[in-house]
Amino acid sequence: MLEMEDKTMPIVIPGEIIASEGYRAGDNTLRIEGSIVATRIGIPRREPERVSVIPLKGFYMPREKDLVIGIVTEVTYNMWKLDIDSPYPGILPAADVFGRRFDPTKDDPLRKFQIGSVIKAEIVAFDRTQDPLLTIRGQDLGEVESGFLIRINPSKIARAIGRGGSMLSKIQQAIKSRIIVGQNGVVLLLTSDPVVREKAMMAFKLIEEEAHTYGLTEKVVDLLSG
């Protein structure tokens, strides 16, 4: 973790060598002829045995147990297809919503969610050979009835949450409203006040633009209190 102690860190680009012997290739890296190279623009992260790159820009790749916020794009007789801002659409099976007694001849998926419904869901399974399987069984999951949606680049989500949720709780305190952050870059603002929405949008835009700078939490707090 040597690099972490520095205040400035170099940016690596695809094809740049970030380590040679004695390391394992972690996320967003690749081993080419004995050296480990970065495969995306980002910041190298050196752990005792592994090097990885934290991307500065990218798209959302589904991961099991992630909370995502998606919008229904297709309804079939036994499932809903959700746009989760990822290369792969989320699949919410009707059996998950209706329970085990789901009967396609009796239950109509359209009665539950329609095209355009916003749904908070958790990813149950994903392995790239099949589209990510979603569930709404769990606390606080299901259709979103009201609120505002803000989209930010998924690679900035970790920064928007902050260490142990510090950034998110500061924003929530400042705007006095609950915020739910989907790992896919969709942020749900549980308020109906347009002024609060404007403030929150400014805060998330700032996070998105300056995610890689130092002292961002203070900047966001200043912005919201000013």
User: Where along the sequence are the contacts to another protein (CB under 8 A)?
Assistant: 4, 7-11, 13-16, 28, 30, 32, 37, 39-41, 43, 54-59, 87-89, 128-129, 155, 158-159, 161-165, 211-215
Q: With CA atoms as reference, report the closest residue to 56 among 210, 214, 226, 222.
A: 210
Rank residues 89 and 102 by Cβ distance to another protein and give the closer one: 89
CA-to-CA dists, residue 176 to 191, 200, 226, angstroms: 9, 10, 15
- Compute the least distance from the CB of residue 77 to another protein, in Å: 19
Q: How far is the CB of 143 from another protein (least distance, A)?
A: 23
Q: Which is nearer to another protein, 29 or 112 (CB)?
A: 29
CB 213 within 8 A of CB 223: no
**Both tokens of residue 70?**
């998606």
CB nearer to another protein: give 4 or 125. Answer: 4
Nearest CA-CA partner of 83 in 110, 130, 74: 74
- Beta carbons of 82 and 71 less than 8 angstroms apart: yes
Q: Least CB distance from residue 44 to another protein, whole Å?
A: 10
- Smaller CB separation from another protein, 89 or 142: 89
Residue among 25 and 107 whose Cβ is closer to another protein: 25
Q: Give me the least distance between CB of 56 and another protein, in Å please.
A: 6
C-alpha pair distances (Å), 155 with each of 1, 40, 56, 57, 97: 21, 12, 6, 6, 30
Shortest separation between residue 124's beta carbon and another protein, angstroms: 19
Nearer CB in complex with another protein: 29/177: 29
Q: State the nearest-atom distance from the C-beta of 19 to another protein, in Å.
A: 15
Interhelix angle 194-209/216-225, rounded to 10 degrees, is 160
